Amino acid sequence: MSDESGMEVEAVRYLIRHDTRYQYDQPVGESRQLVRLTPRELPRQRCLAHQLFIDPEPQRGEDFRDGFGNAVRSLHFEREHEMLFVRAESLVEVVAPQAFEIDHSPAWEEVRDGLSYRAGRPLDAARLEATEFLFESRHVRVKNDFADYARADFRTDTPLLVAVDGLMRRIRLEFTYDPEATEISTPVTEVLATRRGVCQDFAHLMLSCLRSLGLAARYVSGYILTHPPAGRPRLIGADATHAWVSVFCPGYGWVDYDPTNAQMPTTEHVTLAWGRDFSDVSPLRGVILGGGEHEPEIAVTMVPEAERALLHPENPSDIVFTPS
Amino acid sequence: MPAGLLSDYPFRASRYDEMFAARGEPRPHWQGFADRLESLSLESLLQREEFVRDAIEADGVSYNVYSDPQGNRRPWELDMLPLIIDDGEWSLLSAAVAQRARLLNAILADLYGPQHLLTEGLLPPALVFGQPGFRWPARGICPPGNVWLFAFGVDLARAPDGRWWVIADRTQGPSGSGYALQNRLIVSNAFPVAFRELRVNRLAGYFRAMQESFARLAPTDGETPLTVLLTPGPYNETYFEHAFLARYLGFPLVEGQDLTVRDNTVFLKTLRGLRRVHAILRRLDDDFCDPLELRADSALGIAGLLGAVRAGRVLIANAIGSGVLESGALFGFLPAICERLLGEPLAMPSVASWWCGEKPALDYVLGHLDELVIKPAFPGMRMNAAFGHLLHGEERDKMIARILAQPHAYVAQEWVRVAQAPVWRDNKLLPRSVGIRVFSCSTGDGGYTVMPGALGRVAPRTGMEVISMQRGGLSKDTWIRVENPIFTSMLKRRLGVVDLVSDGADIPSRVGENLFWLGRYSERVEIGARLLRAAMTRVAGDDDAQQGLISAIARMNMFKDRPGARDAPPPRVETSLERKLIGALVDPTRVNSVATNLRALAVAAGQVRERMSSDNWHALHALGQLLADPIDSIDHALSAIDHIMQSCIAFSGFALDDMTRDEGWRFLILGRRIERLEGLAGLVMTPVEAAASERDQMLEWLLEAGDSIVTYRARYRRVPELLPTLHLLVFDRTNPHAIRFQVDVLRDYLERAAHELGHPYPSRIVDPLAQRLEKFDLAGFESDEPEAALADLRDLLNEAIVAAQELSDEVHRRYFTHTVGPMLLRRLA
């Protein structure tokens, strides 16, 4: 892979498997699902191969793009079934971002003012897209409390990316990762109050801070490479989907920040989809007729391409689906 | 006329008055109506007032108010005096409304398409992306004919200088055109002479044009278009109107669960199977329309609907996402947008508005609060308009703080002293603030047609500024005169033989289900009421039969508390038998009291309101009112029961005589017969199980409760005896109140339904019961010790009860369906 200047840059490849299984208590007569499990094509991310395996076979399947440009597969099942299994496998190539000086980014107030409306001032395409991510959404609030929390990093004339970097690090320091503390419906105001949560909560929190300051920031869903403890083998299905944020900065485009890990994603994050918050990018969302209570089992495995035999021992050279 | 009617009217020069140019001086276009008023006596005016009130009551016109303590219905309020608008002025108004509809349609097409308005800085992104009304999944969709705004409603008010201003745009599912039509039907009959002489423009043409636009725009693939009216259901505030319009336009009234999407095509679930739907006139907020892509917790929508829209297989009026324009914050931007999109100046100004999201506007608002009305910038924000001059002290500081915290969520509008018009109140004319809602509809070829009339909206009190139906407003019919009647010939295809409908093939499964329960509950009310009447007439005497009666009532669960009844009083001690019986009549917290069943009956009836004639509805409506007043004595209770019985008889008479014999009707009768089968079997069970010494005493009330005492007396002219009583109530094929009769009728109906609707006939359930009845040996009851025959009969009755319950389940499974809420997905790690 080469960058714009034609220089060879290092590319890393991953094989990702994302399994979802629903076991229903009662037969499901009819089901519709929207699947967002196709990695996006980005300047520094390419999806080299991608396949969805679905069991039972849907009566209808269609592909379209949602309002944010994410690929969606829409499925319709009309025959009775008691189980639904969806496996997405993707071979993705990621290139590290070019090094850039965050100190040289524009002052955050300048970015904010550039995004605010002034009658008759045209918006270029990049700014127009940025304005989609300026406001409140289902899980992201615009409130003084969030702006106040962010203020310590957003001092007068601070370069935007310096301030965002500081905010991300502070969230990592001041918030505790605690899967027991929250659930999907926990409001972000409560996360701010209790200082606990998971990646999704931290992403929503950071988005609330940035949008409360008048900045454009979006929710990114994807995968992160995990490293097994020293001396232990990598386990299948031990990974999880991940979430982080992306901030709009003129001259720099969209810059990613992972508040859960206090790092700027380089070559260990793979982007699946983005939106205003989690509700725009659910990997699987559906409506079923019948079925009763159910919780899906989810298993995600992300391995460097060199270790692909872990997922495909019988055919280590190609993506082959192994329905289970 | 009452002396000084016109001259006593408190005319105020500071306001524009619709009727008067000066004190006692009607405007020229009102002169004819004023003359008419002057020619009428007070008595005649009062008669008309009563006529209007009665007409509303009789038609059940209502506006549901969520917070109304009197239940969820409030009669629609209509002033008998029309609002008359000069026809010259009207032609300017209607042209301006049509232009505004074209403009708003073009804005919607831009916002969900290329978004030039945003890139060119003509509209702030906050008013699009920043507001909850923008539906992201609708981006990139192109509706049939590029018509986003199929129907449009706009609220207008008149300033003191006589100019009209736009106060609010209704772009999602404008309500009111049906109420306007209903108002017209009533007021034109209250003043028939004036209506005729003034040559008032008719409204029917507008609705015909709407039907034709549906036919023109809907993607039909050559099929006869089927348009449905999608309602959120009877608890919606304007449900009456949904039902009324559906009937008037000839569109099936459906709820989300009546529709399904298969292969990106929308279908109506009917008693016969699936029928393709080509167009949907929706009164369901767009966020609720598709739980798959919009609000996941919506149980009112149709999963996959947006897929069908995206595939261009269905017309939705108005398009999903059109609610984004219901914001007063847009007003200030419209003049420039109109020039840009239509290349012409905006014909009618909006009320002067300042969207606080712009700094200069915010500063102006904070500096001129007293002259402004503060409103939410986005539809769906729970906030009432606040008049700046009424805000003081802490309240004012709070409002300012709210605005400063989220300026883009607020808009301030000039406080317009809107025009006034007289209403008829307390035998005189009183001034009230008035506005109008004008309706417009796409013609399908890029233009819009405007309804030549309007919904007149009147403030609830004199001196009050806010005009809102939700907050107790009054309405008026609006008359526009035809100076030169123009008979436009509409290019309308006449109905042909192939279009004839005689069997109601579109009956939604849900309607069948509600009719079924309507039948069951009306029968259950009757049986319960007759049983209570039998008990109450015996309460004074020391009748030996009383004990059996009480157990029969207890067997029907008429005394038992409903488990977990929300409104249940603390456990009570029944002070007397009287109180206990009255409780079984009036207490809605009992499992099966008459009141409980009347409520259930009203709910089922409300669901199928549109299928009943006004008279039929009236009979049912009267039934619901009967237990509204407190009942404190047996005499009082007996008189209430008499009324209930009369209403029940009226209702069943209507059901037999008045309703179309379509498939839906058949389910009403099925429900009635199944209920009567189960109820009769339960009734007869009490004496059958009683001790021999008590049995004969029970036969008389049994015949009364079974509604067969008259037949018995006519046939036998003697005190009831066991054999003839059981024959009459169980085995007689000619008595409509005998078990045998129910079984015969049920077999007949089920066979026909199975044949016509293409489902197997459930012979397993009914046939064995019929054979049992046929073979039963009645001679066993002739003996002095009929115990063996009675044991046999008890088994038969139990079988009848089980058969009734199984049949009910079977009918549900076969012909009706159920939806289960959508599933939500787990969060990430």
Q: Across the interface, do B826 and A143 touch by the CB < 8 Å criterion?
A: no
Whole-angstrom Cα distance, residue B706 to residue B738? 8
| Residue B829 confidence (pLDDT) | 34
B541 pLDDT higher than 70 = no
Residues of chain A above pLDDT 70, percent: 93
Q: Can you tell me the mean pLDDT for A50-77?
A: 94
CA distance A319 to B48: 82
Residues of chain A positioned with their CB less than 8 A from the CB of B357: 117
pLDDT tens figures, A233-273: 887 777 888 999 999 999 999 999 999 999 999 999 999 99
Residues of A in contact with B358 (CB under 8 A): 117-119
Which of A295, A300, A312 is CA-nearest to residue A84?
Answer: A295
Of residues B121, B304, B825, nearest to A122 (C-beta)? B121
Closest residue to A184, CB basis, from B125, B405, B826: B826
Average pLDDT over residues A190-208: 96
Please name the member of B119, B292, B824 whose beta carbon is closest to the beta carbon of A128. B119
Would the CB atoms of A200 and B827 count as touching at under 8 Å? yes
Cβ neighbours of A288 in B, within 8 Å: 820, 822-823
Min Cα separation A1/chain B (Å):
32
Alpha-carbon gap, residue A124 to B588, rounded angstroms: 64
* CB pair distance less than 8 Å for B823 and A286: yes
Q: Which DSSP string corresponds to B796-819? A: HHHHHHHHHHHHHHHHHHHH----
Asked whether the beta carbons of residue B129 and residue A131 sit closer than 8 angstroms, the reply is yes
- pLDDT, mean of residues B64-89: 75
In whole angstroms, give the CA distance from residue A299 to residue A238.
7
CB atoms within 10 A of CB B499: 9
Range of weakest confidence among B274-283, B389-398, B809-818: B809-818
Q: Which of B585, B580, B521 is nearest to B551 (CA)?
A: B580
User: Which residue among B129, B310, B825 places its CB closest to the CB of A282?
Assistant: B825
Please name each of the domains of chain A with its CATH number: 11-95+281-310 (2.60.40.2250), 102-280 (3.10.620.30)
Which chain A residue is nearest to residue B297, measuring alpha carbons? A287
Q: How far is A225 from chain B (nearest CA, A)?
A: 14
Cβ of B121 and A123 within 8 Å? yes
* Residue B119: both structure tokens together: 């890139």
pLDDT at B820 > cutoff 50:
no
Percent of chain B with pLDDT over 70: 89
Structure tokens at B522: 């009306």
Neighbours of B281 (CB within 10 A): 24
Contact B828 A66 (CB under 8 A): no
- Cβ separation of B828 and A284 shorter than 8 Å? no
CB contact under 8 A, A32 and B304: yes
Query: CB within 8 A of B73, min separation 6: which ones?
Result: B62, B64
HSE (CB half, 13 Å, CA atoms) of B103? 26
Tell whether the model's pLDDT for residue B487 goes beyond 60.
no
pLDDT confidence tier of residue B438, bands split at 50, 70 and 90: very high
Q: Do B828 and A278 touch (CB under 8 A)?
A: yes
Contacts of A267 (CB under 8 A, 6+ apart): A10, A12, A94, A95, A96
Q: How close, in Å, is residue A208 to chain B by CA atoms?
A: 14
Contact B129 A135 (CB under 8 A): yes
Nearest CA in chain B to A197: B829
Q: Please name each of the domains of chain B with its CATH number.
A: 352-413 (3.30.1490.270), 507-564+575-659 (no CATH), 660-814 (no CATH)
* Nearest C-alpha in A relative to B141: A67
Q: What is the mean pLDDT of residues B733-761?
A: 87
CB contact under 8 A, A135 and B292: no
| pTM of the complete model | 0.79
Name the minimum distance, in Å, from the CA of B118 to any CA of chain A.
7
How far is the alpha carbon of B166 from chain A, nearest alpha carbon, in Å? 22
Nearest to A199 among B303, B825, B829 (CB): B829
Of A66, A78, A122, the CB nearest to B137: A66
Per-residue pLDDT, B717 = 87
Instruction: Sort out which chain B residues have CB atoms less than 8 A from A222's CB and list them.
Output: none
Residue in B closest to A296 by C-alpha:
B826
Q: Residue B743's Cα: distance from chain center in Å?
A: 35
Structure confidence at residue B532 (pLDDT) = 93
Q: What pLDDT is recorded for position B543? A: 61
**Among candidates B121, B137, B292 on the partner chain, residue whose Cβ is nearest the Cβ of A32:** B292
Task: Assign B147 a pLDDT band (cuts: 50, 70, 90).
Answer: very high
- Are the Cβ atoms of B819 and A289 closer than 8 angstroms? yes
Say how many CB pairs under 8 Å bridge A and B: 123
For residues B310 and B328, what is the distance between their CA atoms, to the nearest angstrom? 29
List of chain A residues whose C-beta atoms are within 8 Å of the C-beta of residue B405? 143-144
Mean pLDDT of B62-78: 62
Which pLDDT band, with edges at 50, 70 and 90, does A324 fall under? very low
Report yes or no: B192 and B200 within 8 Å, Cβ to Cβ.
no
* pLDDT computed for residue B73 by the predictor: 62
Distance CA B53, CA B186 (A): 9
Q: A285–B825: do the CB atoms touch at under 8 Å? A: yes
Task: Report the gap between the CA of B328 and the closest CA in chain A (Å).
Answer: 17
Q: Looking at CA atoms only, how far is residue A90 from chain B in angstroms?
A: 19
Interface test with B, best of A30, A135, A137, A242 (most B CBs within 10 A): A135
Q: Which residue on chain B is closest to A224 by alpha carbon?
A: B829
> Which range has the worst mean pLDDT, A61-70, A232-241, B452-461?
A232-241
Question: Alpha-carbon distance B761 to B795, whole Å?
Answer: 25
- Identity of residue A229: P
Return d(Cα B411, Cα B375) in angstroms, integer. Answer: 5
